[in-house]
Structure 1
Amino acid sequence: MSRARCPRCARPLTHCLCPLIPHLSSHTRVLILQHPDETAHALNTARLAALGLANAELRVGEHFPELESELAGREAWLLFPGEQALTVEALAAGGSGAPAERLLIVPDGTWRKARRILHCNPWLASLPRLSLGEGLVSRYRLRKAPGPGALSTVEAIVHCLNTLEGAGRFDALLLSFEALIDAQIAAMGEATYRRNHLGETPAD
């Protein structure tokens, strides 16, 4: 029998994260495009970001044909690495203020699934791209990062918004994320976590 879940954060009622999820306003609009395979994942950080930001939206799917016309005329940036990608730090330093219609589009999923979203929406792949700066360290202790500086979706969004709109303004979004990680570690047991994720060998 499955455990009862919170209809808002989708966590078991005994581990509801809603009290830790803020309601933050941002000048930048955030649109998260989540691959369907991520919706049932226990560590769904995109959902936490969407719940915690007043000016954010989460859409699930691979094909988003409606978005091309919806976003016509808006300044939209795709948060995804590429040869011509501009770092978010460079974008923040390059203007006197954020435009009225700046939009940050964030694919959510593994790198393969995120690329699938771009492949299914060619207009999306043609948008100017943003990348994260170097030297970032993820707090995502339960997944091995695919490369240096790789962050979870909520961490990447917090970094971008803090850089664009003021350092530390969106750190509260990470409270529920940290609690989510701590709960997963507690569920598996400290010894199992250390053995499987830190590579530690139990003492004799």
Structure 2
Amino acid sequence: MSRAQCSRCLRPQTHCLCALIPQLDSRTRVLLLQHPSEVGHALNTARLADLGLLNAELRVGEVFEDLATLLNPPGYQARLLFPGEDAQLIDTGEPSDESLPWLLVVPDGTWRKARKLLHLNPLLAQLPRATLPEGAVSRYRLRKAPGPGALSTLEAIVQALEILEAPTSFAPLLRPFEALIEGQIEAMGADTYQRNHGDKTV
């Protein structure tokens, strides 16, 4: 028998995260394009970002028929948060064109699935790209990062917004993320966690 599920955060009602999810406004608009394989993932951080940001929208799919409309909301300039040779480093307090805030387009999935979204949606691949400064460390202690600086979707969005909209803090978005990780560690048991994910250098 399946456990009752919260219809908002999609977690079991006994582990509902809604009380921890903030309601934050931002000048930057965030468009999350989620690969369908991520929807049932225990750590669905794109959904947490969508629930916690007032100026965000989450779409699920592989091909987005209305992408041209989604990428051109009035009053915004679109940027794809994805690495690339010509990607602009997000390192200033404001987008380059100060008259228009950014529409930050964020593909959500494994690196392979995210690249597939770009391949299947050529309009995405044509967007100017933005990338985060190097050196970030993920708080996701339950999965080995594919490389240095690899962040969850939620962590990447928080870092981008804190740069673009400094000094505003978007750290409250990470509270349900942290609680989710702690809950998974607790369910796993301290010994199992330490054996599989603990610091091997000690």
TM-score by length of 2: 0.93
Q: Give the distance between the partners of 2:40 and 2:186, measured in 1 at CA.
A: 20
5+ residue gaps in structure 2?
Answer: none
SS in 1 for 2:91: helix
Residue deviations 1:173-199, cap 9 Å, x none?
A: 000110010001111111111111126
Q: Is 1:55 the equivalent of 2:55?
A: yes
Shift of 1:95: 3.6
The 8 Å contact of residues 17 and 176 in structure 1, kept in 2 or not, is answered as yes
Shift of 1:103: 0.2
Aligned to 2:78: 76
Q: Give the distance between the partners of 1:30 and 1:148, measured in 2 at CA.
A: 24
The 8 Å contact of residues 78 and 124 in structure 1, kept in 2 or not, is answered as yes
Aligned to 2:14: 14
Q: Give the distance between the partners of 1:43 and 1:162, measured in 2 at CA.
A: 22
Over the matched positions of the two proteins, sequence identity in percent amounts to 63
TM-score by length of 1: 0.92
Aligned to 1:140: 140
5+ residue gaps in structure 1?
Answer: none
Aligned to 2:87: 85
Greater than 2 Å deviation, 4+ residue runs: 69-74, 92-98
The 8 Å contact of residues 95 and 164 in structure 2, kept in 1 or not, is answered as no
Once structures 1 and 2 are overlaid, which stretch shifts more, 191-200 or 181-190?
191-200
Residue deviations 1:51-107, cap 9 Å, x none?
A: 0000001100010121114434741000000000011115x466473615x200000
Residue deviations 1:94-134, cap 9 Å, x none?
A: 6473615x200000000000001000001110100011101
Q: Give the distance between the partners of 1:128 and 1:75, measured in 2 at CA.
A: 10
Alpha-carbon RMSD across the aligned residues, in angstroms, is: 1.8
The 8 Å contact of residues 27 and 98 in structure 1, kept in 2 or not, is answered as no
Q: Give the distance between the partners of 1:96 and 1:137, measured in 2 at CA.
A: 29
Aligned to 2:126: 126
